[in-house]
Amino acid sequence: MKKTKRFKKLMAGLLAIATTATVVLTGCGGGDGGSSGDGGKSGNDVVITFAGWGSLAEKQNFTKMIDKFEETHPGVKVNYQHYPGTEDDYMVKLVSNVAANKMPDVFYLPTDEFVEWASADRLLDMTDYLAKSENYEDGKIWEKAVDMYYYNSETGAVGEDGGLYGLPKDLGPWAMVYNKTLFEQKGVALPDPVEPMTLDEFIDVAKKLTSGSGVEKVYGTANYTLESAVWSNNADYLSEDKKTITVDTPEFAEALQWVADLALVHGVAPTTSEAAASGWFERWCNGKVGMAWMGPWDQPTFWESVTFEWDIMPTPVNEETGKAISWLGSAALCVSATSKEAQVAYELAEFLCMDEEAQTINYESGQAVPNIIEMAENDYLAMDKMPANKQVFLDILKNPEKGQFKPTYYTKNSSWHDYFVTEANKVYSGEMTAAEFCKMIQSELQDRLNGNE
């Protein structure tokens, strides 16, 4: 009895010592940053790490692009860390890397994190690297896409002015997509490829497409993107200087109410309850909604699992303001400010962003619209795959009056926006009117925005 107890204690002690030792040792090992060698034969290779999230398709895609990079850069090995799952899961991992002082050399950064990271000096200033680059000249890639990753450390403003802290992985226009087969079945005229519908026409069309009940229910539209409704109604989330929350304007409330009423009054979109049960993506893929919103990154899944014909259409226009605005998504390719191989790391980011071979792989697999303008306007437009009306994507990309960045891109922390989205259920469920809600929530949001300044 005694012996076994002693033995157990001894084992516990040994285990404790072993654990301590491991932690201390790995802790020391972490000191040399991202370039953790692979310990293989390649003693003289430069090894850099590259981290990103995304689907398995995206992983395969980037593996191909990285292979190409290694071919053209002999002596460089890229250690690709792919995180399946969502952007949020990935950010948790990235933050723990910061804490452990083991930042990857090159990594994706969501746009709503950009200001926070740039202002924290975590990102390499690429201005000089880009200036010296032989692969880049003005007008080669979408101007907006490069401009958006400038950050001015004195004013805290983003866009155009300051240092360049990232290159665009892609620039993704959010466009309205429709189920062509369903339109034809219901005998509804197809949307014009150039002229946008008005918001009233949109509701009419959605009504004609709505039918059935229960599991057979088909809705005219999935839930409408609030940003689009708000911007098109001359409203915005933030003031010009991005310091004041402006959701309490009548225009904002009107837009929010319009979106909520699609389900509450017109019955042409899923209710909050139904949307919680199955999201727009599932409904769309199953042919249960006539119209929805998509980004280019949805193309591979649609090609694979959507059995009907579909196409994209111009963003519906607000007839009073004459505006039809949607949002532009992006993710940055950033280099860690502490990277020991900054030059090589920059070259990888640049390669992924604007090399012709890499960009070809990227658009052919359907991941994105090419960053290279010429390629987008020729090869991509000519690609024989849905959507047919790819010009809609390019229009949102090119025209500032058709595509804007989400409000969270401009602010250091997006918790104010998360708060808004969670609480907006009060309007979508019909518990409160948009006007009441917007008035009530403004100061809450403002506090949250200020708290993060």
Partner 1 sequence: MKKRKKVSSFKRREHLTGLLFIAPMYLQFLVFTLFFLGYSLYMSFTDWNIVAGTKNFIAFENFVQILKDPIFWKSVWNTVYLMIGIPIGMFLALLMAMALNRKLPGKTIFRVSVYLPAVTSAMAIVILWRFIYNAEYGVINLVIQQLTGEAGPNWLGDPAMVKISLIIMGVWRGVGNTMILFLAGLQNVPRDYYEVVDVEGGNSLHKFRYVTLPMLSSVTFYVLITGVIGGLQAFGDQFIMTGAGPEHSAITIVYYLWQKGFAEYDMGGASAVSWIVAVMIFVVTLIQFKLSNRWVYED
By CB under 8 A, name the binding residues for partner 1. Answer: 6, 9-10, 12-17, 19-20, 88, 91-92, 95, 98-99, 116-117, 119-120, 122, 215, 272-278, 413, 415, 418-419, 422-423, 425-426, 429, 444, 451-452
Q: How far is the CB of 284 from partner 1 (least distance, A)?
A: 15
**Least distance CB 278 / partner 1 (angstroms):** 6
Least Cβ distance, residue 316 to partner 1 (angstroms): 27
What the block records as the tokens of 130 is 């880009």
User: Are 97 and 320 contacting, i.e. CB atoms less than 8 angstroms apart?
Assistant: no
For residue 67, the SS3 value is: helix
β-pairing, 163-164 with 150-151? antiparallel
- The kind and range of the H/E element at 275 are helix 272-277
Would you say 120 or 194 has its CB closer to partner 1? 120
The whole-angstrom separation of Cα 437 and Cα 428 is 11
Structure tokens at 245: 């929350």
Least spacing, CB of residue 273 vs partner 1, in Å = 4
CB of 336 to partner 1, least distance (A): 12
Q: How far is the CB of 274 from partner 1 (least distance, A)?
A: 6
Coil, helix or strand for 171? strand
Structural contact between residues 176 and 192, judged by C-beta atoms closer than 8 angstroms: no
Rounded CA-CA distance 45/344 in Å is 12
CB of residue 210 to partner 1, shortest distance in Å: 16
Question: Smallest distance, Å, CB 419 to partner 1?
Answer: 8
Q: What is the DSSP string of 5-36?
A: HHHHHHHHHHHHHHHHHHHHHHHHHGGGTT--
Q: At 339, which amino acid appears?
A: S
Task: Provide the minimum distance between the beta carbon of 98 and partner 1 in the complex, in angstroms, as a whole number.
Answer: 6
Nearer to partner 1, 92 or 383 (CB): 92
Q: Considering beta carbons, is residue 60 or 425 the nearer one to partner 1?
A: 425
Is 137 exposed, middle or buried (CB count within 10 Å of its CB: 0-12, 13-18, 19+)? exposed
Pairwise CA distance, residues 251 & 192, whole Å:
27
Q: Of 205 and 335, which has the nearer Cβ to partner 1? A: 335
Whichever of 15 and 265 has its CB closer to partner 1, that residue is: 15
Q: Least distance in Å: CB of 31 to partner 1?
A: 17
Cβ proximity to partner 1: between 72 and 443 the closer is 443
For 252, the 3-state DSSP assignment is: helix
**HSE-up of 433 (CA within 13 Å, CB side)?**
5
**Cβ atoms within 10 Å, residue 110:** 20
Output 272 or 360, the one with its CB closest to partner 1.
Answer: 272
**H or E segment to which residue 173 belongs:** strand 167-173
Tell me which amino acid residue 359 is: Q
Query: Where does 14-162 show beta strands of DSSP type E?
Result: 46-53, 76-83, 106-110, 150-151
Measured from the CB atom, the residue of 180 and 448 that comes closer to partner 1 is 448
Contact 343, 223 (CB under 8 A): no
Q: Which is nearer to partner 1, 399 or 425 (CB)?
A: 425
- State whether residue 423 is helix, strand or coil: helix
Considering the complex, state which of residue 99 and residue 189 has its C-beta at the smaller distance from partner 1: 99
